[in-house]
Structure formats: structure tokens, C-alpha cells
Structure 1
Amino acid sequence: MATKQNTGGSNVFESKIGDLTVSGRAHSLSAWFVLALRLMMGYAFLYSGVSKITAAEPFGAGGYLAHSAATNGNPLAGLFAWMGSTPWFVEFANVAVPWGELFIGLGLLVGALVRLAAFFGALMMLMFYFGNWDIAHGLINGDFAYMLVFLAVAAFGAGRILGLDQYIETLDVGGQALIERYPRLEYVLG
């Protein structure tokens, strides 16, 4: 059986984990879909953050943390109960959730620090997945799907598609592009 060898190119991707290698070739329209995912999640998170910050009543995570997970058979119910009964954590969540949503959304919409924003967005969605635990229709729900969308946005470097990351990475720092001078920044940019 013959196999086709990938020779590189902007639409070819490959990854190796241990002894398993996966590769593929993306359609040229894929960039538009990745951009659409980035903008959709950016708008959703920005809107959610602004709504919480500007609400008549201040956002409060305590009740959700203390009671939501305990009522639905959640495997992390004990952790959520601890978070909901720990005053400093509740105060942290009261600030981190709305402002985190705002900054994640803003970062995705303008395409700046997209991988960092997508990481924290995926982390928030993972916490929402367990907080809203419901397996009546299987293990996959909207929170889990959104977590995967955030990870896809990060993996495809969506900040380089009509975003500021494509410019930030090329900023001149001592005669070198920023990303060449500080290669670890590729984990937060892109």
C-alpha cells in the first residue's frame, strides 16, 4: 500500500505524541472557519463578561459553587463545595469570572494573546462542565464542546488570522522578530 508523504506547506499539519503521528491537510477555507470560531467565542465571552460587570446586582459565584455541583451527582462535588465555602476563593471567583470572560472575549475578538485567552477560556469551560454536570444525554454537552472550540482556536493559531498576534509576533526587538527572540511566546501568541 502506498502512502502519500506530506512535504509541508501552509495547509499541511502534523503532530506526534509518543509513537502516534497524525497528519492532515486543511482546505483553504479552513482559515475562515477558524476565524469564525475565534470571533464567535470572543463575542460570547465578551458579552457574558460585560453583562456580569454591568448588572444591577454584583456577580456572585458563591451559591453556584456551593450548591450546583452538589445536586447533580458531580464527581467533583466535594471540590465545588470547598470552593463555595471558602471565602477567599468565592471572592476570587466573583472577580475572576466576569473579568476573565471580558478579557478572554476581548483577546479573541482583536486576535491578541489568543493562545493564552483560549487556554483560560478552555479552563473556564472545563470548570463549567463539571459545575453544570449532567450526563443524562451522555458525557458531551455544550460546555465540553465549547472547551474543544477554545482548544481548536489555540491549536490553529487563530490570532494570526486577521488578528493582532500576526503583527505582535513580528515586532522588532533588538534586530529580531519578537517570536524569534523569545520563542516561548508562541505559547501565548498565535
Structure 2
Amino acid sequence: MATEKTSVGANVFESRIGGVTVRGQAHSLSAWFVLALRLMMGFAFLYAGIEKVLEAGWSAQGYLANVAAVNGNPLEGMFAWMAATPWFVEFVNVAVPWGELLIGLALLVGVAVRLAAFFGAFMMLMFYFGNWGVEHGLINGDFAYMLVFLAVAAFGAGRILGLDAIIERYEVDGEPLIEKYPRLDYVLG
């Protein structure tokens, strides 16, 4: 599915997917709210990552083995496989704490924000299924945080008081980096 970018003016955004066009106009204060979302998620993930990295013997084993089996999770079998596969548990024992720490740090300083937000959204999707519970509806905090990460990525929050703005302007052979390598737009911003 391809999307098209269009430039339609200050504080106006428009996107077309599959023949459907949506258009909106952001308030000038929106940049502050997008920055606040980026910093909030950055702090939350950095803090969670630091806690796990510093906690002696932290392991995802118990979570993977028990969480999905008790809540009617549609991915119960996948979580059981993850818990029963030693190499996967070891991978998760490194990926979760260091992933949280690095995602949080990237968001706080505003570097590679889209990449960090993508992995943050992926982690929140996995937590959503791990913490599955629909007794109060399909939407829970994990799902909401996943959408926050996606919004941070979509609005290019790294360009708002972040290092991504500086990196994108860095010139290579007299041309701004983001223009010379446009695919970096999927990582920076």
C-alpha cells in the first residue's frame, strides 16, 4: 500500500492511501504537544529500561510463561513457544531492557526518532497481546501507547528540538543528507 506526501501549506497536512484522501489543519501549539508526547514516552521507556538493566537477574521468562496462559490471549501458543525456547528467552532478556533504554534515549534527544518509535510501537503491540484483556474493551494502555509511538513517528517529532533536525541538514557533497538519501526519512524525523 503506497502513500503519497503532499505539501499543502503551513500547519496543513494531507495524505492519500488507496484513493482516500484525508486532510487536517494543526494548531500552531501542536508542535509542543508532539514534543511532549516524544519526551513523555522517551522518559517512560528510558526509566523502564534502566530499572531492568540495573535489576540483577531480571528475566522475561516468568512473564512469557504465565501472562498469556491466564487471560484468554489469542496468541497464547506463541507466548508459550517463546517461554519454552531458551535462545528466545535469552534474546528477550537483552532486547527488552536495552531496547527500552535505547528507545527512551533516542526519543529524549530526538535522534532516529522514527526508527525508535517503530520499535517502541512494536514492543507496545507485543505488550498489548501479552497483557491481553478485553473485559473493559479492546483498547488498553498498551494499545494507546502504541498509537502514541506511531503519532510521534508520523509527525516527525525528532525535528522538534531534536538532533534529527540537525542530522537531516548535514551536507554530503553539498546536498542535505535527507535529500541525498531520501530513504533516511523512514529513520529520522
Q: In which range does the TM-score fall when normalised by the shorter chain? A: over 0.9
- 1:81-137 Cα distance to aligned partner (Å, 9 max, x none): 001100010000000000000000000000000000000000000000000001110
Structure 2 residue aligned with 1:3: none
Following superposition, the deviation at residue 71 of structure 1 comes to: 0.8
Q: Structure 1 residue 120 and structure 2 residue 119: aligned?
A: yes
Following superposition, the deviation at residue 159 of structure 1 comes to: 0.2
Gapped regions of structure 2 (runs ≥ 5): 1-5
- SS of 1:169's partner is helix
Contact residue 7 and residue 14 of structure 2 kept, 8 A: no
Structure 2 residue aligned with 1:13: 13
Question: What is the aligned-residue RMSD (CA, Å)?
Answer: 1.1
Structure 2 residue aligned with 1:43: 43
Matches within 5 A, 1:87-126: 87-126=86-125
Distance of 2:99 and 2:168 partners within structure 1? 23
Structure 2 residue aligned with 1:155: 154
Distance of 2:175 and 2:26 partners within structure 1? 30
Amino-acid identity (%): 74
When residues 7 and 66 of structure 1 are mapped into structure 2, their CA distance, relative to the original with a 3 A threshold, is closer
Structure 2 residue aligned with 1:53: 53
The letter of the residue matching 2:152 is V
Gapped regions of structure 1 (runs ≥ 5): 1-5
Following superposition, the deviation at residue 10 of structure 1 comes to: 2.7
Q: How many residues end up aligned between the 2 structures?
A: 184
Distance of 2:10 and 2:86 partners within structure 1? 49
Structure 2 residue aligned with 1:140: 139
Following superposition, the deviation at residue 19 of structure 1 comes to: 1.6
Matches within 5 A, 1:162-181: 162-181=161-180
- 1:2-43 Cα distance to aligned partner (Å, 9 max, x none): xxxx98223010111112110100000000000000000000
- 1:136-176 Cα distance to aligned partner (Å, 9 max, x none): 10000000000000000000000000000000001111111
Distance of 1:61 and 1:174 partners within structure 2? 47
Distance of 1:106 and 1:174 partners within structure 2? 30
In the superposition, the TM-score normalised over structure 2's length comes to 0.95
Distance of 2:30 and 2:19 partners within structure 1? 28
